[in-house]
Structure 1
């Protein structure tokens, strides 16, 4: 639907999007997600990502090394037709917050490596 962050952010503003449904896949392949207010969704999310606790996701990280980062993929964004509040759904890739390298247990990264 979108090719870059600027297009997504313009759409969010122009269409009055209220929430962003942040989606990512865990190691067994189950979709995980949470919603965030669209007002908090800005350029920094595309540049710096969203931090989350990787130890709370099965198969990811131990508690002492649990920091993980989510990076949005603009090409996957679409308007959720079933939500009462206008919600933009988007898939996110998982990265190591220290090296910014793709996380080796992220199924999206594994698939991208397999295609390369």
Structure 2
């Protein structure tokens, strides 16, 4: 799906929360939940900011700003 198709799919089906899943470096499943109001084509292309220091093996607190960019082809 393209970002536009992903947004349309979620809106027409009344989906309220989107759960973006990824793994940390040791392979543990992590996720970032976002409300439908934050699901836009721009955000899907540019990514969602999160605190990388909260994820084991990612970044130290001093450089923890990270982006999670969804792969809409797997939606």
TM-based fold match above 0.5 = yes
State the 1:25 CA deviation.
0.9
Over alpha carbons, which structure has the higher Rg? 1
Q: Which contiguous aligned blocks of 4+ residues in structure 1 show a shift greater than 4 angstroms?
A: none
In structure 2, the residue matched to 1:46 is 44
Gaps of 5+ in 2: none
Contact persistence 2:52–2:66 (CA under 8 A): yes
Cα root mean square deviation, aligned: 1.1
Q: Please give the TM-score of this superposition, normalised by the length of structure 2.
A: 0.90
Of Structure 1 and Structure 2, the greater helix share is in: 2
Q: Secondary structure at the match of 1:11?
A: helix
Aligned length: 75
Q: Among 20, 29, 34, which residue is 1:22 paired with? A: 20
In structure 1, the residue matched to 2:73 is 75
Using CA pairs under 8 Å that are at least 6 residues apart, name the structure with larger relative contact order, 1 or 2. Answer: 2
Provide the rounded CA distance (Å) in 2 between the counterparts of 1:66 and 1:29: 19
Q: Please give the TM-score of this superposition, normalised by the length of structure 1.
A: 0.60
State the 1:57 CA deviation.
0.6
